[in-house]
């Protein structure tokens, strides 16, 4: 059985370029970036998607994304993306936010 790639990173069994981490969350650079700045905000605990997350965790993830964006000086703007399910574009079934910045973001996004 293949292990979740984000669980492998959380356990230290796979590498990541961390920007921030604590006992609840990891923020690291996406291995396949779609913008000059493309970070993933990921809980250490395995939660499959938004549909399984509680309000406390979601608030913590958003707060962490905000904190990292401010620390990186992204005051001109950034985009947060949360894909849910196959039709929503989710490819890794471990809850995560994409923080994208460093270029203008078009609309509609997909």
Cβ neighbours of residue 14 under 8 Å, at least 6 residues apart? 5, 8
Q: Which residues contact 84 (CB under 8 A, 6 or more apart)?
A: 49, 50, 51, 90
Exactly one of 38, 46, 94, 96 is catalytic; name it.
Answer: 96
First to last CA, the chain: 32
Question: Is there a catalytic annotation at residue 46?
Answer: no
User: What is residue 3's DSSP assignment?
Assistant: P
Residues with catalytic roles: 96
């Amino acid at each position: 059985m293949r292990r979740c790639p984000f669980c492998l990173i959380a356990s230290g069994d796979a590498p990541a370029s961390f920007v921030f981490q604590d006992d609840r969350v990891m923020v690291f650079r996406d291995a396949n970036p779609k913008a000059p700045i493309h970070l993933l905000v990921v809980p250490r605990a395995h939660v499959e998607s938004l549909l399984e997350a509680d309000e406390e965790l979601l608030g913590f993830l958003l707060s962490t994304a905000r904190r990292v964006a401010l620390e990186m000086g992204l005051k001109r703007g950034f985009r947060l993306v949360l894909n849910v399910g196959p039709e929503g574009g989710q490819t890794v079934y471990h809850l995560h936010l994409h923080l994208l910045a460093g270029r203008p973001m078009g609309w509609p996004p997909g």
